[in-house]
Structure 1
Amino acid sequence: MGRLSELFDPETVAVVGATDRDGAVGRAILENLRDQFAGRVVPINPSHEEVLGLECYPDASSAPPIDLAVVVVPPEVVIESICDLAAAGTENVVVITAGFAETGSEGAERERRLREIAGENDLNVVGPNSLGIMATANGMNATFGPESALEGSISFMSQSGAFITAVLDWANDQGIGFRDVVSLGNKAVLDETDFVREWGDDPQTDVIIGYLEDVADGRDFVDAAREVTDETPIVVVKSGRTDAGAQAASSHTGAIAGSERAYEAGLDQAGIIRAHSVQELFDSARALAGLPEPETDGVAVVTNAGGPGVLTTDAVGDSRLEMADFADETIDALAEAMPAEANVYNPIDAIGDADVDRFGEALEIALADPNVGSAVVVAAPTAVLSYDDLAETVIGKREAYETPVVTCLMGGKRAREAEETLRKSGIPNYFDPSRAVSGLDALARFGERRERTADVPATFDVDRERARVILERAYRRDDNRLGVESMDLLEAYGIPTPAGEIVDDPVRARDVAGSIDGDVVLKIVSPDISHKSDIGGVKVGVDTDDVYDAYEDVVSRARTYQPDARIIGVQVQEMLDLESATETIVGMNRDPQFGPLLLFGLGGIFVEILEDTSVRVAPIGDGEAREMVDEIKAAPLLRGARGREPADIDGVVETIQRLSQLVTDFPAILELDVNPLVAGPDGVQAIDLRLTVDTEEL
C-alpha cells in the first residue's frame, strides 16, 4: 500500500465529537467502531468522561496517539479540531461534518481553510460532508451508515453517501464483498485520483469501482488510472451528464465536444470501463474480481432451455464478444455425447431432461475447443437437475480449463445455495442471461485495454515564440477571438496553409491574387462574423481580373448583414483542388476538468449537422491520433473509397499531433477550430482558423 495505508489500517481510531445521545451521528459512528473494529477506539469530547463504556478524552493532545480521527463536530469548530489533531501528530482525518463548500460562501471559506491546514501539516483528509470510510480486513466501519460491508476484494468509492448505504444493503443481500469503501464527500483534500493510486498499489484489491459525479483533476486522473489499469481493472458509473458546456461554447468544436464527451474520452484513454447503470457496475465488478481474462472473444453457451439460450446468443451479439465457431472435432464430440434431439452447435442445447452429468460433459467439450475464450451456463430448473450439484461441476470444469465461466441459474430460492457456492469460487451467477454476458464483456474489455501500448505524445520542432506573439494580438486589441488573420500561428507549429494574404483594399487584393497561380478565394475577415458563407462573405474561384469587384462585394455584404461588425479585411487565398480531397475539421475545446479536448471529424459547412467526429484528451501521440481518424464514419473517404485516391492520412495524423502540442503549450487557448483542414492525396492544408483566447493567461 501507499501513503494512505494507515487510513485503512489504523491501530487507533478516534471519534472527535463522540456522544451517547440517541440518534446522534457521533454515537452511530462510535457504535459501529466499538462493535466491529479490531483496534482501539477513542472517544473525544470535552463534555464527557466516558461514552458508551469507553474512556473519553477532552482533546487529541490528551488522548493516546491517534492513527485515524473521525470528526463529527459542528462546522464552526471543525478547523479548531483539525489543528488540535495535527498538533497531536495525527495524519489521517475523515470529516463527516457538512456545512462547507456545498452551503455557500461562508462554507467555501471554511473549506479553503481546511485545505490550507491540511497542506501545511501534510494531512490526509477525506471529506468534508462524508459518510465515512470502511476497511473490512480489520472490521473498521468508520461511517454512520446502518450496514457494514462484507469482506471481499472490491474497493469502492462514491461521491454520494446515500448511494453507499443503498449499495451496501443490496450487496449484503447479494453476497458481494468489499475491501475498502470511501465516501468522498466534498473532496477538499483527497479525491478519486488519490484512491485510484492507493488501491492500484494494494495487492488485496482486485477491482476498483466508483460512483462519480465529477473529477477534480481530469488529466491527473487519466494519468493515474492509465498506470493502474495495466494490472487492476477500474469500473466507473458517472452521473451528472450535461450539455451546459457545449451550450456555452462559441466554436464548432466547443458545440460538438461538450463535457460529457470529455468524460467519455478521458475514461477511455485511462483504460477505465464505464458502466451505464448500477447493475452494470456490479455485474462487471463481480466478473473482474473472480475470473481470468479470456484468451479469445469466442463465447460458448451451454443450456437446457432453448429460449434462454437464444436470449444469451442475442446478448453476445450486442456485445463486443462473438459466439464461438466450434471446431469440427468439438461438434463431433458433442454429437456423440448428446441425445439426438440436442443441438450440438453453439448455443449447445442439452434439452430439458439434461442432468448434471450431461451439462458437465457438454461444458467440458466446449471449454476444450481452442475457439472458446469463455462460457455461459444457462439453466432452467427441472426435477432432474440439481443446481447444487451443477454449481460444483461448473467450478471443477472452470478450474480444470482456467477459462472464465459465468452462470445463469434461473430461479429464486432453488438457486440461492448454489449461487453462494459459486460466489465463493469466484464465479458470478446472474438471473438474466444478458447480465451474464455483460460480465464476460467487461473481462474482455479489460483485456483489450491491457494490451494497449503506451502512446507517448510527439514533440515537434516548432516556433513557440512566434506563436506567443501571434496570440498576444488578442490582448493588444482587447478581443479574445482570433481568426484567419492569425493563420501564421499554424505555420509556427508546422501546419501547412495555402498561399495568400489579408488585405484591406481592393487594389492590394488584386495584386496578391496576381502573385498566386490560378484562381483565388476571397473571405471576409471579421471576429464578429462566424458563418461567413451564410452571408455571402466568401467568393470561390475568382479570376484575378474579377478580384477588385469581388472584394467590394464581400465587404458590402458583411456590412449589410452586420453593420456593427469589425472588418479587419479580406483574405485572398490560393484556391485548392477539392475534387479529390476531403474537408475535415481539427479542433480543441478546453474542458474544465480534463483540459484540452481534441476533436477530429468530417469538416466543412455541415460539421455541426453531421457531427461525425472523434475526441481525445491532449496531449496525444501517433497511436491515439490515428485512432481518431479511424473512428469517424467518413474514414473510408480518406482511405480512398469508391475509386477515390487515398488522402495523406499520415499528414492528417501529424497535424492532429501538432495541434495537440500547440494547445498543450498554450493553456491560454480556450477553443480552436481548423475548419476545413483539406486532406488530399498530396498532403493537407489548413484553410480556415478560429480560436478563443484567455487574455489573462497570456
Structure 2
Amino acid sequence: MDSEETQASDAGRATGGLSGLFDPDRVAVVGATESEGSIGRAIVDNLVADFAGETVPVNPNYDDVLGLDCYPDIESVPGELNLAVVVVPPSIAVEAVEQCGEAGVRNVVVITAGFGETGSEGASRERELTAVAEEYDLNLVGPNSLGVMSTPVGLNATFGPENALSGSISFMSQSGAFITAVLDWANDQGIGFKDVVSLGNKAVLDETDFVEAWAEDPDTDVILGYLEGVENGAEFIDAAREATEDTPIVMVKSGRTEAGAQAVSSHTGTLAGSEQAYEAGLEQAGVLRVENVQELFDFAQILSGQPLPDSDDVAIVTNAGGPGVMTTDAVGDSALSLASFSEETLDALSGAMPDEANIYNPIDAIGDADVDRFAEALDLALADDNVGSAVVLSAPTAVIDFDDLAEVITDLQAEHGKPIASVLMGGERTDSAREILREGGIPNYFDPARAVGSLDAMVRYRNVRDREYEAPERFDVDRERAREILERADERGDNRLGVEAMDLLDAYGIPTPDGTIAETPEDAVEAAQGIDGEVVMKIVSPDILHKSDIGGVRVGVPNEDVYDAFEDLVTRARNYQPDAEILGVQVQEMVDLDAGTETIIGMNRDPQFGPLLLFGLGGIFVEILEDTETRVAPVSEREATEMVDGIRSAPLLRGARGRDPADREAIVESLQRLSQLVTDFPAILELDVNPLVAGPDGVDAVDVRLTVDREEL
C-alpha cells in the first residue's frame, strides 16, 4: 500500500477549537473530595482560589465539597458544563469520561494515571479511553496529566501547589513534575504565562493540537514545550511551519541519548524516534530547540517582549572591560556579528566619551560612567543604522544607580525599536531594576553569554519567519514500474534487496550505469558485449548484502574473462553461504571512481517522523567520518541543497585541491527524486545508494540496498 492509498489517521482527535478548554464558564471536578492531601481536594482548592467561573464538584459520596453543592454524577448537574476534570480511580475513569460525553461536555482533562504508562492492562484501558473520546468528539487532555491552566480567567485545573503568573507565554509539557518545578521558578523570576497544559499520555490531544490552537491565539506571543516524543512528526512539522510565520516556538526535547530514550519509554510509554529525526524535523518545522530550561525561558522572555532585529549586528555598551571582552567572545561564538559604527557615530561618541573610553565596539564607558554617560552611549549606538540590537552591561559601582539605568534602557529601547539584552551584574541591588526592565519586556541576565544567546535566538527566529516554504517538486516518474519491482520482491519472499533493485532507482530518474542481471555465464558474456570497455560484476543475492566482504565483486573485468568471472563469483557465494538464494550476477558498466566523489544518499524510516533522508560522503568514508546531513522527507530543492552544502566535506564537492567540482545540481535532484520515491512507497523501510558517484557531468548510482515491509506492499 503506497502513500496515495494511505490516509493520515486522526483517530481520537476532536475537531474544532480548544477555547472551551481554556476559557470555560463552568468546570466540573469528577472525583472532588474534601480529604486532606488528595488530588480531588487540591484541584477544587485551586479552582476556588482564582477561577472567575463556577466550580462544580461531582462525587456520589458528598452533598457538598468545601461549601459547594456536590452532585452524584455528571448527568445530575443542571445547565451546561464547558470542562470536566476527571480524577477518579483508573478502573472507573473511562466510564466517567463516557458519562461526560453523554452529558454533552466536550472538553475533558483526565488527571487519573494507570493507563499506557503502566503496562499492557493500562494500554488497553487507554485504547478504550481513546475510543470513547472519538465517539463523543471530545477534546481530551491526558490521561496521567497534571491538568491545565489559563491565567486570563484564573483557571487552575491542576493539582500543582501554585498558580501561574499572568503573561503571554503558552507552555505545554509532557511531564507534570516539570511544570510544577518550572512554575515555582518562574514565579520567583516574575515570568508569566497565558496557558499551561500537562500533556500526559496524549491519548487524544497532543503537541500538534496545541501548536495549532496557540498559533491562532492573539494573546500567545511565544509557544514553549517540553517534549519526550512527537506523536506524528509530519503533522507536527506542517502545524509548526504555519505557526512560526507569526509565533515563535521554543522547545526542549529530552531523550537525546540512548539511555535518555529508554527512560522516556518507561516514563510515558512514548517510543522515542531517532535523535537525528528530531533534530531535522524540529529544524524544518522552524522550532528553536534548546538544551535546557534556562535557555527555554531566556529565549521566551526576549521573544515575547521585544521586536526582532533587522540585522545580525550587535552593539555592546559597558562600564567594565573584562565582562565586555566576555560579551565580545560570546558574540564571536554565535551567529551574530559585532556592529561596525558609522563615522558619524564614532565622531559623536568621541565627543561624548572621556579620552580613556573606547568608542569602538564594544563601547567601554569605563568604570566612572554614570547613568547619563551610559544613556548617551547607548542612544548613539542604537541610532546607528548598522546596529540591529544591543547588549548593555554594567558592573555595580558607586556612581551607578541600577534603577535609573533600567529606566534609561527601557526608554531607549522603546524609542529606537531595537531589541536590547541587559546584563546588570549583581545580587539584591538589581532586584527592583530587573522588575523595571521586565515591565518593559527586557530580560536581565547575570551572564553575558546568556544575553548574547538570547539575541542570537531572535535572529534565528527572524530567519525562520522570513524563509519562504517551498513545496517539494513532483517529478515525472514511472511509478507503476517501481511498484512492480517491489511486488516481485514480495513474490520471492524477500524483504531485503540489493543490486537487483537498481531498476527501482532508474524508474524514479536517478541515474544508474548500464547493466543487467545475468542468470548464466552465457548471459553475462552477452551483456558484457553490449557495454563499452571493461565491466563490473557483482553477485546478486538477497541473502548476501555485503558483497565485497566475501569477494562477491569483480572490478575491471575484460570481455574474455566474463564467463570465468561469473562462475567464480557464484562459487564464492555458494562456499560462503550454501543456502543463499543466488539470483545471478550483475554485469555493469564501469564507473571511474577517481573521476568523481563517492557520496551516499539514503533513507531510514523513523517511527515518528517517517522517511529520514541522509546525505554525506560515501564509500568507506560514511562510517569513518560520519559527515552527514539529514532531513525529513519530502524535501524541497532548497532543503536538498542545504543537505549537500551542509556537510563538513562540502569543499571536496566544490573542487578542493584541484579536483573538478561535482555536479551539485545532479546530487540535489537525486536527493529530491529519492525523497519522492520513499514518500510514495511507505513499504520502503530503509534504503542506501552507496556510492552515488558525483562527477563534473552528473551522478551515477553504483550500488543500492534496501529493506521493505512486505505487509505494506
Query: Which TM-score applies when normalising by structure 2?
Result: 0.95
2:609 aligned with 1:594: yes
Which residue of 334, 341, 344 corresponds with 2:349? 334
Which residue of 412, 424, 429 corresponds with 1:397? 412
Deviation at 1:641, TM superposition (A): 2.5
Residue 417 of structure 1 is matched in structure 2 by 432
C-alpha separation in 2, matches of 1:561 and 1:152: 69
- Match for 2:76: what amino acid? S
Which residue of 654, 659, 662 corresponds with 1:644? 659
C-alpha separation in 1, matches of 2:343 and 2:521: 78
Which residue of 535, 540, 548 corresponds with 2:550? 535
C-alpha separation in 2, matches of 1:634 and 1:563: 41
- Match for 1:583: what amino acid? E
Deviation at 1:189, TM superposition (A): 0.3
CA contact (8 A) 2:391 2:423 kept: yes
Deviation at 1:88, TM superposition (A): 1.1
C-alpha separation in 2, matches of 1:460 and 1:246: 37
CA contact (8 A) 2:602 2:688 kept: yes
Residue 503 of structure 2 is matched in structure 1 by 488
CA contact (8 A) 1:243 1:258 kept: no
Deviation at 1:2, TM superposition (A): 6.2
**What is the CA deviation profile of residues 347-374 of structure 1, one whole-angstrom value per residue up to 9, with x for unaligned ones?**
1111111110011111111111111110
CA contact (8 A) 2:148 2:195 kept: yes
Which residue of 285, 289, 292 corresponds with 2:304? 289
Deviation at 1:50, TM superposition (A): 0.4
Structure 1 stretch displaced more, 229-238 or 77-86: 77-86
Structure 1 stretch displaced more, 649-658 or 268-277: 649-658
2:174 aligned with 1:138: no
CA contact (8 A) 1:244 1:258 kept: no
| Mapping for residues 235-384 of structure 1, pairs under 5 Å | 235-243=250-258, 259-384=274-399
The 3 A distance-change label for structure 1 pair 94 and 59 is: same
C-alpha separation in 1, matches of 2:99 and 2:592: 73
2:192 aligned with 1:182: no
Residue 251 of structure 1 is matched in structure 2 by none
Which residue of 659, 682, 686 corresponds with 1:667? 682
Residue 254 of structure 1 is matched in structure 2 by none
Residue 65 of structure 2 is matched in structure 1 by 51
CA contact (8 A) 2:211 2:243 kept: yes
Residue 128 of structure 1 is matched in structure 2 by 143
Deviation at 1:542, TM superposition (A): 1.5
Structure 1 stretch displaced more, 441-450 or 530-539: 530-539
Residue 63 of structure 1 is matched in structure 2 by 77
- Match for 1:168: what amino acid? L
Deviation at 1:507, TM superposition (A): 2.9
Which residue of 14, 17, 29 corresponds with 1:3? 17
Deviation at 1:564, TM superposition (A): 4.0
Query: Which TM-score applies when normalising by structure 1?
Result: 0.97
CA contact (8 A) 1:620 1:660 kept: yes
Residue 627 of structure 1 is matched in structure 2 by 642
- Match for 1:397: what amino acid? L
- Match for 1:604: what amino acid? G
- Match for 2:219: what amino acid? Q
Residue 82 of structure 1 is matched in structure 2 by 97
CA contact (8 A) 1:242 1:259 kept: no
C-alpha separation in 2, matches of 1:533 and 1:634: 26
Structure 1 stretch displaced more, 353-362 or 533-542: 533-542
C-alpha separation in 2, matches of 1:645 and 1:589: 31
CA contact (8 A) 1:2 1:201 kept: no
The 3 A distance-change label for structure 1 pair 539 and 564 is: same
2:50 aligned with 1:36: yes
C-alpha separation in 2, matches of 1:360 and 1:187: 51
**What is the CA deviation profile of residues 362-391 of structure 1, one whole-angstrom value per residue up to 9, with x for unaligned ones?**
111111111111000011111100000000
Structure 1 stretch displaced more, 467-476 or 662-671: 467-476
2:479 aligned with 1:469: no
The 3 A distance-change label for structure 1 pair 245 and 414 is: closer
The 3 A distance-change label for structure 1 pair 48 and 244 is: closer
The 3 A distance-change label for structure 1 pair 106 and 258 is: closer
C-alpha separation in 2, matches of 1:244 and 1:287: 33
C-alpha separation in 1, matches of 2:520 and 2:137: 64
| Mapping for residues 526-605 of structure 1, pairs under 5 Å | 526-605=541-620
2:196 aligned with 1:170: no
Residue 475 of structure 2 is matched in structure 1 by 460
CA contact (8 A) 1:91 1:122 kept: yes
C-alpha separation in 1, matches of 2:366 and 2:469: 48
CA contact (8 A) 1:69 1:93 kept: yes
Deviation at 1:245, TM superposition (A): 13
Taking only the aligned residue pairs, the percentage that are identical comes to 70
**What is the CA deviation profile of residues 316-346 of structure 1, one whole-angstrom value per residue up to 9, with x for unaligned ones?**
1111111112222222221211111111111
C-alpha separation in 2, matches of 1:571 and 1:86: 63
Task: Provide the secondary structure at the position in 1 that maps to 2:186.
Answer: helix
Deviation at 1:398, TM superposition (A): 0.7
- Match for 1:454: what amino acid? Y
Deviation at 1:526, TM superposition (A): 2.1
C-alpha separation in 1, matches of 2:40 and 2:260: 40
C-alpha separation in 2, matches of 1:373 and 1:669: 48
CA contact (8 A) 1:6 1:68 kept: yes
CA contact (8 A) 2:150 2:194 kept: yes
Deviation at 1:601, TM superposition (A): 1.2
Which residue of 121, 138, 161 corresponds with 1:106? 121
C-alpha separation in 2, matches of 1:216 and 1:509: 50
The 3 A distance-change label for structure 1 pair 598 and 7 is: same
**What is the CA deviation profile of residues 212-248 of structure 1, one whole-angstrom value per residue up to 9, with x for unaligned ones?**
000000000000000000000000000012459999x
Residue 18 of structure 1 is matched in structure 2 by 32
The 3 A distance-change label for structure 1 pair 270 and 334 is: same
- Match for 1:665: what amino acid? D
CA RMSD of aligned residues (A): 1.7
Task: Provide the secondary structure at the position in 1 that maps to 2:225.
Answer: strand
Task: Provide the secondary structure at the position in 2 that maps to 1:459.
Answer: coil
Structure 1 stretch displaced more, 267-276 or 541-550: 541-550
C-alpha separation in 2, matches of 1:565 and 1:242: 37
**Unpaired segments ≥5 residues, structure 2:** 1-14, 263-271
CA contact (8 A) 1:2 1:198 kept: no
Task: Provide the secondary structure at the position in 2 that maps to 1:179.
Answer: strand
Residue 432 of structure 1 is matched in structure 2 by 447
**What is the CA deviation profile of residues 197-224 of structure 1, one whole-angstrom value per residue up to 9, with x for unaligned ones?**
0000000000000000000000000000
C-alpha separation in 1, matches of 2:327 and 2:579: 64
**What is the CA deviation profile of residues 615-671 of structure 1, one whole-angstrom value per residue up to 9, with x for unaligned ones?**
111111111111111111222222223333322221111111111111111110000
Deviation at 1:426, TM superposition (A): 0.4
C-alpha separation in 2, matches of 1:56 and 1:245: 44
- Match for 1:44: what amino acid? V
